Structure 1
């Protein structure tokens, strides 16, 4: 089995129109923006997609539309794994099988409740593995909502040895944990892809297969340059890594609506409508536009520095 989802993997937004429905025209533009700005894989129907607020039909349609629009240019994985009961999980994950996506991502906190142990997680995981086609590549996502369930070393090793997993979206937010997981999965198809901007550059240097954080919705091209060329330009890489950490610190200021407002600025999206955030983030987070002005300015400054390197 080849690895499918590696490198810079945006967690995709879902645009909504004023009628409350998915805006497919804007979604198509968003997909093309990701591809033009360094995405090496795409993660559809994830938390950034507001998957907990989408119907099963919408989740399936998003996965299908993404796969059709991408048309094999990069791998596409999808989740939509939100149900509590294992039989409902089988239904929702099984519905993704024929959408054309390259892989299906299981959410770790759906495999066991917060007060349940490894035995429950393993039993539910095995039930889903038995249910899904053996030729369908799989991923795991330590989604922080409704609670963050980090996999134990034994669980990581078990998943790696099945040979069916190619991606862990690591949400440990801890460099030593990432390094340990990289060692645990060596020689297997199971790649550890960090999602935390604070450790992104160090995780890449340690052998993480890429970056799958939320600010791939703002400047995925900068993370792509860091991954591909940072080691050849260590001073600029360190400078860029500092900026990326500080920019990502704005995530609590109303993400994913924050990212949708950014895409309104650049003309990708018409609306910042979210189902998960129903309040005015500009009213709640003072000087938000001024903060984003600086993020945009910094992004363009680093793009110019990178372009100057290429010109020399």
Structure 2
């Protein structure tokens, strides 16, 4: 199986009383697919997994899988615990949903940042206990700390036939380029998550994009990915626009992205469990900033004949 292309890190909509909005989640799932996503990453950091019970993480993944109904692959993580027994329980539960791949978070394989030997030992212990036919991926999630993989570790994981994707959070083009070379002739695909380097990373061999702004305009990233080798000036212009938009992540994400979905009618509420403040109050003119991004995105869609 190949997990690549435009892979949104899925949001979790909540009801007014802070329960998971499963109807909204189903509408959101369709929105991703309608906007040219190639796969979906459920139960991830953008889904607020540290603030979800295991039951919620499993039900979210099952809901997405049922709504997708085989149209595109769905990968999921929900990997948040420190203790081995707890990790095994949550990863097995995600596997049992039928997700196309179970994503391991690198800092959970080395919770205290002790190094390669600990990471490998914890991974091999999990691998021995998990179902033998499991398909796996990796995510350098920045919470609770960003555990980047070394070149040695990249080569190690590339040696496993069932390891199919790394959501790269190095945010460094030279590192992405090096990792693409290290994983040649393996099943492990490198998918960059940083908007500032997205276009150059695609051209260097990153197999798509899995950044947070796939929650705003995944169709524009899809166009960029499909046309990464084009010399048409509009492609570079689009790449510049998308990189600049990425800076808005600091204005209260994931609520910022949720606010867009409230505005377009995907679901009803833009609050999260991660951010307690109302972003319209905390970040001055944040809604106006979002409006500019939405309007400019629509202008690019018209220019590119995407609508």
Q: What is the TM-score of this pair, normalised by structure 1?
A: 0.96
The answer to whether the 8 A contact 1:42-1:75 is kept is: yes
> What residue in structure 1 maps to residue 36 of structure 2?
38
2:130 matched to 1:137? no
| Counterpart secondary structure, 2:136 | strand
What is the alpha-carbon distance in structure 2 between the residues aligned to residue 279 and residue 270 of structure 1? 17
What is the alpha-carbon distance in structure 2 between the residues aligned to residue 62 and residue 113 of structure 1? 25
The answer to whether the 8 A contact 1:171-1:194 is kept is: yes
Q: What is the TM-score of this pair, normalised by structure 2?
A: 0.98
The answer to whether the 8 A contact 1:230-1:236 is kept is: no
Write out aligned runs for 1:1-312 (5 A). Answer: 2-3=1-2, 5-307=3-305
Deviations for 1:167-226, whole angstroms, at most 9, x for unmatched residues?
000000000100000000000000000000000000110111100000000000000000
What is the alpha-carbon distance in structure 1 between the residues aligned to residue 225 and residue 152 of structure 2? 29
User: Which structure 1 residue ranges, 4+ long, deviate > 3 Å from structure 2?
Assistant: none
What is the alpha-carbon distance in structure 1 between the residues aligned to residue 230 and residue 177 of structure 2? 22
What is the alpha-carbon distance in structure 1 between the residues aligned to residue 157 and residue 113 of structure 2? 21
| Counterpart secondary structure, 1:121 | helix
The answer to whether the 8 A contact 1:261-1:271 is kept is: yes
Number of aligned residue pairs: 307
CA deviation after TM superposition for structure 1 residue 27, in Å:
0.6
CA deviation after TM superposition for structure 1 residue 250, in Å:
0.4
What is the alpha-carbon distance in structure 1 between the residues aligned to residue 74 and residue 66 of structure 2? 10
CA deviation after TM superposition for structure 1 residue 133, in Å:
1.9
The answer to whether the 8 A contact 1:170-1:194 is kept is: yes
* Structure 2: segments with no counterpart, 5+ residues: none
The answer to whether the 8 A contact 1:107-1:142 is kept is: yes
CA deviation after TM superposition for structure 1 residue 135, in Å:
1.8
What is the alpha-carbon distance in structure 2 between the residues aligned to residue 242 and residue 115 of structure 1? 35
CA deviation after TM superposition for structure 1 residue 117, in Å:
1.4
Moved more, 288-297 or 110-119: 110-119
* Structure 1: segments with no counterpart, 5+ residues: none
